[in-house]
Structure 1
Amino acid sequence: MTPTATNDEKYCCYRDSVLKGDFVNHELSENLDSTNAFEGPEKLLEIWFAPSGSCLPISWPKRGLRDIPLSGIEHMLSEVNCEIISRVSSQMMDAYLLSESSLFVFAHKLILKTCGRTTTLFSLEPLLKLVRKYCRYEHDLSEIYRVFYSRRTFMFPEKQHDIHKNWPNEIIFLNKYFNQKTSDSYIVGNLSLDHWHFYMNGNDRSLPMLKNGAQENEMPDETLEIMMTGLDPERTDLFEKVNYGAGKDNNEKCEDTGHSFGRQMMQNTGFENIMNLAEGQITKHDSFAFTPCGFSSNTILEDKYYYTIHITPEKGWSYASFETNYPKDDKATTLTKVIGSLQPKTFFFTFVQESGESSDVSINRRSFDSLKSLDLQGYRKDDCIVYDLRFGYQMLYCHFVKSKFN
């Protein structure tokens, strides 16, 4: 898919691109200013229309949601109050870096993560229209396979749009689109401190599905999120543009300073090697440095997995998040690396995991147990909470505080 927005000239090929679908919005990248950024914590919406990309609704095109044109994606994001900075793609997914976090589009599901004063839930109505138009979806959203929505406690809830100012408002809005009778809503953690909100819904009355080519070797679904506050000042300096050189390589006419600095930040922090991958596995990074400070990155792993990092380094409300759906690494090792890179005063992580079958069960169990028993040097664990959820999911929440910080 090539850019089809109103002004195609604002897009340019991505550095080292091997797919025509990779591009940079140069106009936005050069002029984006995050001086007034205030709210790092994101809202995370994940919608599944089918169990996998190899088993789509029978009426759908082979590429599923990826057949929605760029102009449609842009319209949906305009309702959320964010824009596309750049996109990298693989054979199985598109990863959009946004002015406020990230969007991942697969054939069968969409993951939208946005920070600041964005109105994430306002994406539902335009998304439904797009799926009906381009994927020949004939139902409403109450018939979808799965939906998950979550967020951390906001730092400045009074600055949010009314729909996101409190959890009850968000639940009421979600249940306008999804079946209220099957919705599950949780508030997890110490309510006097940082805590986490989580909503899930869906059904197993799946629509008629058509096998889409060879059946994928599907791993059970899982998502690890790490949400950090009070970042170490020496580490946040790495995300200040003023601490870098000229930035733009004159030989790279298609690269702007935001992406050039972003690549340097990715390398200087070690984020480009944060995951333990088998030798020869393909990794594709897209990273961006904001003006005057801040950092976002998307990384595609093995065509169908991702990890994403977002950092708001402003002193007084510094925040960072890490998220991945990669199922093959040692979760405790990855988490330890992330925390070591940013050294936050406080953080919590959530791990939501679907039960597997046959040999996958033992792999899943090891990941869950290693995170649950994690003892991180220099940190005190204040909370460790486990939920058994519907559809065979489990959720783990653990909250940590730096030992020398009270």
Structure 2
Amino acid sequence: MVALDIPNGCTLSPSLATPHLLGTPHLHINHDVAADLDSSNAFEGPEKLLEVWFAPSPKALAPSVKENGLKSVPADVWVEMLDLVNCKILSVIHSETVDAYLLSESSMFVFPHKIILKTCGTTTLLLGLHRMLRIAATVAGFPFHNAVSANDIRAAATPYRVFYSRKNFLFPDRQQGPHRSWKQEVKYLDDMFEGGSAYMVGKMNGDHWYLYITSPTFNPTPPQTPVDKDSNAVLGSLVSRSNKIPTGILATPADRAPGDHATAADDEDKHDETLEILMTDLDPENAKQFYLSNASAVAHDRILSQTDSALLKAAAASKQQQQQHGHGHGHGHKQQDSHMSDSTYSVLDSEDLFDVDDIAVQNAANGNKNDNGACSSGGSLTPLSEHLDSADMEALTTEGHALGTVVSDSCGLSDVYPQSVYPDARIDAYMFAPCGFSANGVIPAPPADGDSVASSTTNGEIPETAETAETASVSTSDSGPTSAQGNHYFTVHVTPEPNCSFASFETNVPGGQKGRQTADIVKHVVDIFRPGRFSVTLFEAKGTTADSTTKPGGSSGKRLERIPGYRRIDRIVHDFEDYDLVFRFFEREGFVSNGEARVGEL
């Protein structure tokens, strides 16, 4: 259920050993990398985004593929690929259907049948692409068609789909490798793949967005020879004279693994959708939330506030006990009554840093008593330092996952997909020094209304027994359409410096789930950052039904035209063979920039 092949230096979250959490995603943290990270050179916020599919769904894997597909690849193998990209793994959320890697420069999501890699700064993402394809072929067992043997260094798995996209860079002259211009990136991809198409969406003399895409309906010329199921090698002595890697070649239904009853209607790509919000010129006041000094102050104030709240509750409990029993004893009942939700600072707790509730209760029950032995809510609180060791105090003032969790909660990102609706959701957040923020979220489909899972959770708390946890896991995997059967994700990355401020939000959670439309998500995210300018790209497979009204002319699509406080500048629609793309660009009303939009390269 949970892969334990994690990079050297990673630690196992205590939550993994807790029985009632066995049906939920789990977090591993790479302390070696996190302790040595410096984000001062992360000047280029806009990310490069690569998404490679090797099959239409996890149910459509070829018989040669290992169980769990790409998820069977050890994390140490991905580390070698990421070294070519120039980024490191900070932490991992493991779940049954997706592993979410938080990187030193953005994120990676590994599903059984596809991988999503998103990197910012001067990373060389495309230089890791061939290694990614080779890992898929030689480690995960996906078919390849460009070599006779897996021992051939050229052997690379045949992708079903390839997507590569990015916003125009702010500082293209600082990029490396093929990323110095879109023209070079397209050439690099065209030299690697057959059947790709490149597009630019938006104003040439303003903010715009680039897309490179391949289609699974492409027929390679000359035709490739068939794949031997047993050897996973290309039959015959001749391979295509082209050095390019074909795309879109699928195993036929007869070639699928035994017991695989997936049909075309079951394929995930029939329900695929991705929402991406790219924001620049962040409001300075909103951007302050993503500076370490501000996050540290918020964390300190919140713990003091929680302690004060516990004091008040303990005092009330003590008074009630005195009225009932005529004395001020019974501290065990007092602690039970005053104990607060364990959901607060969940990542801090799982990282074994400190527990806000324990500190508050200890302060209330043992640190502030009056002469009668009752807790007093008046007067000064016991200094926080008396209840935290040096490591805990350091977590309040240094970069890492602890402050990342504080920021995710305080800025409102944790409420985009709240645990009250998505009880098994997990967020892995990281606060950088001196500024910058990244977060990954793994979002299992919410339980259906009236489900046993819903009745077994209160205020987003996890089911208390292994039995209910198993029920939650089953309900998550069996509810809703195909796209809801697996885990979804979201990812957020923030560069708050005023000279290059940028924030991105991306998710594949279907619009319209639990009644919350895509326009509601966009407004929620934009309100957090209050950008001067932002673009929204909605990429939907034809036939997507989860939020069909977001298509051109639908009511939700019209709602996306009107984001409060902003005016829409552009709306561009691309009708691809099997996907619809709608690109919108907005500018804040009354926004005055220091200059024209930085166009970067064309």
- Provide the TM-score with structure 2 as the length reference: 0.62
Q: Which amino acid aligns with 1:270?
A: G
Contact 1:76/1:126 (<8 A) preserved: yes
Q: Secondary structure at the match of 1:22?
A: strand
Greater Rg by CA:
2
Return the alpha-carbon distance in structure 1 between the equivalents of residues 45 and 493 of structure 2. 8
Tell me the secondary structure at the aligned position of residue 50 of structure 1: coil
- Alignment match of 2:547 (pick from 336, 340, 363): 363
CA displacement, residues 186-221 of structure 1 (integer Å, 9 cap, x when unaligned)? 000011111000010032341243366675684600
Q: Partners of 1:48 and 1:268 in 2: how far apart?
A: 35
With over 3 angstroms needed to count, the CA separation of the structure-2 counterparts of 1:279 and 1:379, relative to structure 1, is closer
Q: The residue matched to 2:164 in structure 1 has which SS?
A: strand
Query: Residue deviations 1:7-46, cap 9 Å, x none?
Result: x3x2112363446973111021122111222100000000
Query: Which of 505, 515, 538 is the aligned partner of 1:322?
Result: 505
| Residue equivalent to 1:26 | 31
Give the total of aligned pairs: 397
Residue of 88, 91, 104 corresponding to 2:109? 104
Aligned to 2:74: 69
Query: Residue type matched to 1:162 in 2?
Result: G
- Aligned partner (choices 271, 274, 277) of residue 220 of structure 1: 271
The residue type paired with residue 196 of structure 2 is S
Residue of structure 2 equivalent to 1:16: 15
Contact 2:143/2:158 (CA < 8 Å) preserved in 1? no
Deviations 1:375-401 (A, max 9, x none): 1122111100001012x1000000001
Contact 1:47 1:146 (C-alpha < 8 Å) held by counterparts: yes
CA contact (8 A) 2:124 2:177 kept: no
Alignment RMSD? 2.5
State the alpha-carbon separation in 2 of the partners of residues 163 and 88 from structure 1: 31
CA–CA distance in 2 between the matches of 1:4 and 1:285?
Answer: 18
The corresponding residue for 2:384 is none
State the distance in 2 between where 1:34 and 1:227 align.
Answer: 20
Please state which structure has a larger fraction of its residues in helix: 2
Asked if the contact 1:50–1:145 (Cα under 8 Å) also holds between the matched residues in 2, the reply is: yes
* Alpha-carbon shift at residue 332 of structure 1 (Å): 0.5
Match of 1:282 in 2: 424
Structure 1 residue 276: Cα displacement: 6.7
Q: 1:74/1:16 Cα in 2 relative to 1: closer, same or farther (>3 Å)?
A: same
1:311 match: 494
Alignment of 1:176 with 2:197, yes or no, is no
Question: Share of identical aligned residues, percent?
Answer: 37
Tell me, in whole angstroms, the C-alpha distance in 1 between the residues paired with 2:202 and 2:60: 36
Match of 2:100 in 1: 95
2:315 counterpart of 1:271: no
- 1:206 matched to 2:250: yes
Work out the CA distance in 2 between the residues paired with 1:102 and 1:307.
10
Unaligned runs of 5+ in 2: 147-155, 218-248, 301-347, 356-390, 445-485, 593-602
* More displaced stretch, 135-144 vs 321-330: 135-144
CA offset at residue 304 of structure 1?
1.4
Amino acid at match of 1:114: T
**Cα shift at 1:4:** 5.1
Larger strand fraction of residues: 1
Greater shift in the superposed pair: 239-248 or 281-290: 239-248
Contact map agreement 2:98 2:112 (CA 8 A) in 1: yes
The equivalent residue for 1:396 is: 582
Matching of residue 352 in structure 1 with residue 357 in structure 2: no
- Name the CA distance, whole Å, in 2 between partners of 1:170 and 1:224: 23
Q: Relative to 1, partners in 2 of residues 1:190 and 1:277: Cα closer, same or farther, differing over 3 Å?
A: farther
Distance 1:117-1:98 versus aligned 2 partners, 3 A rule: same
Q: Deviations over 1:238-266 (max 9, x none)?
A: 11111214777744789965100000000
Secondary structure of the corresponding residue to residue 335 of structure 1: helix
Distance 1:284 1:217 in 2: 26
Letter in 2 for 1:233: P
- The residue identity in structure 2 corresponding to 1:223 is T
- One-letter amino acid of the structure 2 residue matched with residue 319 of structure 1: F
Q: 1:234 and 1:306, CA in 2 relative to 1: closer, same or farther beyond 3 A? A: same
